[in-house]
Structure 1
Amino acid sequence: MSTTPAPQGLLSPALLWTTVGSSVLIFLGAFESLAVTTIMPTVSRELDGQALYALAFSATLAASIVGTVAGGFWADRAGPARPLLAGILVFLVGLVLSGSAAHMEVFVVGRFFQGLGSGAINVALYVVVARLYPASLHPRIFGLFATVWLIPSLIGPVLAGLIADTLSWHWVFLGVGVLVLIAAGAIIPSVLTLLRMPEHGADATSSRWIVPLSLVAAVGVLGVSLAGELGPLAWPVAVGALGVAFVALRPLFPRGTFRAARGMPAAIALRGVVASAFFAVEAFQPLLFQERFDYQPWAAGLILTVGGVAWAVSSEVQGRLGDRVGHEATLRLGTVLAVTGLLWQLTTTLLWLAPPIAAIGWLVAGVGMGLIYPRVSTVVLAHSAPGEQGFNSGAMSIADLAGAASSIAIAGLLFSAFGGVEGAGFTAVFVLGAALVLLTLPVAWRVRAQP
């Protein structure tokens, strides 16, 4: 619950710079993540780092899990101001290391620090919202966060490529570092306000084992991500790594999450499962269009733009609707739309339907995701006491990270096992996505908006 008088809007004087600074930080984190995908072939070539290519991505993901858990634990114990500042500092260190790297090993270390910092920043910002924004504004601020997270999917790859071509790939990281400093300056007044607030301290949800467990979970997720490079050992390693991650992750979630207990556990489970389904299919959509219909890469990638725009618009609309449409109804509608969109994708793949028809399904799925993500965030905070906000927000982010990373890795293994582009590989991947998204239907009906 907010401890300040209720402002009238996100850009009211009391919240203006918090909204601006938070949104810019989220935008830059998303931009950096997408920009790396565009420039990695150049970085790998210049630094002679082909052997560490996959690790440059996986290290960031694994570090994000650790940063999210550590940042949430710290926020519950001492408030969000200190983990937010620490996360910004660590993120900056990572940007400088990667941007100035002359060797691939240094670049990977920088990527690790970027993941560590971004994980702490994201979870700390959720707690900032809980402390400074009234509950009535939560759908709007989380809708805004979703929108600024998705904007880089529209402009990030092109902008990163232009920077790399006209200046140097180094400036993709160093330039973001300068902008992070500006965003940090905008949010400083909020940090000072938070430092003056009394803290309630962490409750029993936090323990001394939580950060070590996050390290084990990160190693498990990393193992699943890298299993595809192990040839005949791929499936045994992937299954073993999934088992390790599952055991380590359980204590990092509220009790009942893995069985979708009614209320907040079901909300977190819903977000994790829908992320697993959506991102597994998304990863193979452009490849399907390129291989089956001979589309150019830029044209094949347009379907991702369709989904991103639909997600952003939907997030903004649900934010403006606010409490006029209940959280439970919004989540159920979003889930039905996500299920419809992903089943549509499976159907178009089985019937070899034209890409524009597939794009309709992806638009529907994007609308569903735009309804689900902000409202899950709102429900989680509504169920969280002040000493639990970091832990519960961290669990929500980990559900995204671990679910999406694991499902994409398993999709890759299925794609190879069923013959890739020359066999039934695409069908196997889309069946996986459809099976996962169908699991969200019973889960969505177990979410309760209030404790």
Structure 2
Amino acid sequence: MSETVEGRWAEIFGPRYLAVTTILALGVSLFAFNAFFTSAALPSAVQELGGIEVISWATTLYLVFAIVGGAAAALFKRRLGSRGSLLGLAGVFLVGTLIAATAGDMSQVLVGRAIQGFGEGVVAALCFALIPELFPSRLVPKVFGMQAMVWAIAAFGGPAGAGALTELISWRAAFLVNVPLVLIFGTMVLLVVPQGERVTQSSGFPGLRLVTIGGGTMLVALAAIAPPMQAGLLLAVAAVALIMAVWLDRRSIERLMPPDAFSLRSAVGSGLWMFLLMPIAGAATGVYLVLLLQQLWGYGPTQAAIIGAVMAIGWSLSSVTVANVRRRSTRRILIRLGPVLLALGLVGVFAGLQLTQPVILIVAQLAIGMGFGISNGYTMLTIMEASSDAERDRTSALLPTTQSAGNALGAALAGVAANAAGYAQATDNAAILLAIVPLFVVAVVFAGLAFLAALRMVHLAKSTPIAAFASE
């Protein structure tokens, strides 16, 4: 496709693509909203139902099952078709919502959250898989920019909206707000999304691989709350399980992933490594910054949360800004620049905390967000273009799953690094500032690894034929 062909924002919101754009926005917003809103609604649920000791698992189970669902998304698409998969798994999400909203105890809430996560994990992954199917490649950066804005709105609006519903009505209303959104989503899918081809021949259900992926992810979640020694062991076992899942998948007839997933010999595999490593690096500030601002600078929860959200602002605004870039050479520069900005931002946040300089910290937070914003969209586009037609569904659906896995791994590794340095026992500012040194060192190392993966992907992508997307 010519580099001079430019897509316009008006196109994805114009008559031809508006309905599809809305479907993708709804699919992503359901996932994002339900990942963020629990911080506001669940404390009230615990007050009514009890079970405060398992409150964190309402989010953990949602994310773990979302990763498993995302891994299985391409399989559902092949078996049920695009429309059938979206409708069926949106129905699964709706069932989970109703179970959680009508729960009589916290165990039922957890069951509902797990079902929600699986259903929405598939839906979100399928929405990514539909992008190259329904949009020409010149519009794909605009679609990714739109999705970045949806995530930013969810990061702000999810907790705020759930808090308002909980305070004015009840915590159950915060769950039930999903019901009309799912119904709107399902109606639009029926009207707009083609059924797509279905593969009737089956080579068996990949239960072992899905259980291995789920078990490995659960071990990562457990590592985030375990003491350092046990956490290290859990992460090692989790790594073995996830590597085994990829190994088994490559040797299976009914694959969940593209055959070159996480292979450094292909642009697809290298790009997936970059997509995994950047969230791992970013988790250092994502997990600890708000808490550190309260501990070190005496900020209140709202003020600290606003500073933390600066990253999301930088991400969404930069993503929208670079969506107009047409030259592939410039896009390759942005891909390589993303991890660099991420590393510089992490160093800046650390320096701002050490020097008690809010301005440095805010600028660094913007740099972290920009690192993700300028590179994510073109990384995804490069991975999709490097994938063959036969593997594009698997590749596209794996993108949000890989990013979620990176967030989970990053949170666990950040916890291990901080706790091993004595962060949990630190009682004064000097001890806290010393304890977070390993946290940021580990984060910068992973940002550096993401940069190496970006260099590898860009190098390999230059020699890879560009696959055609939807008809212009």
- TM-score scaled by structure 1? 0.90
Offset at 1:23? 0.7
Which range moved further: 96-105 or 39-48?
39-48
Instruction: State the shift of 1:106 in Å.
Output: 0.8
Give the corresponding residue for 1:169: 171
How many Å separate the matches in 2 of 1:97 and 1:77? 27
**Partner SS for 1:321:** coil
1:55-204 alignment runs, 5 A limit = 55-77=57-79, 79-191=81-193, 194-195=194-195, 197=196, 199=197
Task: Establish whether residue 354 from structure 1 lines up as the match of residue 329 from structure 2.
Answer: no
State the aligned residue count: 440
Counterpart of 1:431 (choices 428, 441, 452) is: 441
Aligned pairs for 1:158-307 (under 5 A) are 158-191=160-193, 194-195=194-195, 197=196, 199=197, 208=204, 210-231=206-227, 233-250=230-247, 251=249, 253-307=257-311
* One-letter amino acid matched to 1:343: V
* Gapped regions of structure 2 (runs ≥ 5): 2-6, 250-255, 466-472
Match of 1:380 among 369, 378, 383: 383
CA distance in 1: counterparts of 2:84 and 2:152, whole angstroms:
27
| Counterpart residue number, 1:405 | 408
CA 1:324–1:435: 2 relative to 1, 3 Å: closer
Identify which range, 402-411 or 323-332, moves more after superposition: 323-332
Q: Name segments (4+ residues, structure 1) moved above 6 Å.
A: none
Q: Deviations over 1:176-231 (max 9, x none)?
A: 2212211322332222xx12x5x38599xx97464531221211111121135444
Contact 2:129–2:396 under 8 Å retained in 1: yes
Distance 2:453 2:13 in 1: 35
SS, match of residue 301 in structure 1: helix
Partners of 1:184 and 1:386 lie apart in 2 by: 27
Contact 2:31 2:124 in 1 (8 A): no
Instruction: For residues 109-162 of structure 1, give each alpha carbon's deviation from its aligned partner in whole angstroms, at most 9, with x where no partner exists.
Output: 110011101111111112222221111111111111121122111222122111
Q: Is the 8 A contact 2:352 2:359 kept in 1?
A: no
Contact 2:129 2:394 in 1 (8 A): no
CA–CA separation in structure 2 for the residues paired with 1:438 and 1:230: 27
**Contact 2:270-2:456 at 8 Å conserved across structures:** yes
Q: Distance in 1 between matches of 2:42 and 2:246?
A: 30
| RMSD, aligned CA | 2.5
Deviations 1:394-451 (A, max 9, x none): 3322321222202211211222221215133322221221111011222111222653
Contact 1:73 1:390 in 2 (8 A): no
Structure 1, unpaired ranges of 5+: none
Q: Secondary structure at the match of 1:80?
A: helix
The change in CA–CA distance for 1:65 and 1:416 in structure 2 (over 3 A counts) is: same
Identity of aligned residues (%): 26
Q: Distance in 2 between matches of 1:211 and 1:125?
A: 23
Please list, as runs of the form range in 1=range in 2, the aligned pairs for 1:304-315 lying within 5 A after superposition: 304-315=308-319
**Aligned partner of 2:453: which letter?**
V
State the Cα distance separating 1:266 from its structure 2 match: 1.3
Distance in 2, matches of 1:44 and 1:29, equals 22
Taking the TM superposition and a 5 Å limit, the aligned residue runs for 1:29-68 are: 29-68=31-70
SS in 2 for 1:387: helix
Confirm whether residue 342 of structure 1 aligns to residue 342 of structure 2. Answer: no
| Partners of 2:277 and 2:63 in 1: CA distance | 18
CA distance in 2, matches of 1:32, 1:228: 21
After superposing the two structures, state which structure 1 stretch, 225-234 or 360-369, moved more: 225-234
- Are 1:327 and 2:354 matched, yes or no? no
How many Å separate the matches in 2 of 1:440 and 1:348? Answer: 23
Contact 1:123–1:394 under 8 Å retained in 2:
yes
1:330 Cα deviation from its structure 2 partner: 2.3
Shift of 1:259: 4.7
CA contact (8 A) 2:282 2:443 kept: yes
Letter in 1 for 2:174: V
Match of 2:253 in 1: none
Shift in CA distance, 360/104, structure 1 to aligned 2, threshold 3 Å: same
> 1:368, 1:133 → 2: CA distance?
25
SS at 2:265's partner residue? Answer: coil
Residue 209 to residue 181, structure 1, CA distance change in 2 (3 Å): closer
CA distance in 2, matches of 1:264, 1:236: 30
Q: Tell me how far apart the structure 1 counterparts of residues 259 and 284 of structure 2 sit (CA, whole Å).
A: 27
2:238 partner amino acid: A
Counterparts of 2:390 and 2:208 in 1: how far apart (Å)? 20
SS where residue 416 of structure 2 aligns? helix
How far apart in 2 are the matches of 1:300 and 1:276? 22
Give the AA of the match of 2:286. E
Within 5 Å, give how 1:389-404 maps onto structure 2.
Answer: 389-404=392-407
Cα distance in 2, alignment partners of residues 62 and 162 from structure 1: 27
Rate the CA distance shift 1:82–1:233 in 2: closer, same or farther, 3 A: same
Structure 1 residues 412 and 297: CA distance shift in structure 2, 3 A? same
Contact 1:264 1:380 in 2 (8 A): yes
Question: Cα distance 1:233–1:325, how it changes in 2: closer, same or farther (>3 A)?
Answer: closer
Distance 1:224 1:154, change over 3 A: same
Question: Hey, what's the Cα distance between the residues in 2 that align with 1:228 and 1:29?
Answer: 22
Name the aligned partner's letter for residue 267 of structure 1.
G
After TM superposition, the score normalised by the length of structure 2 is 0.86
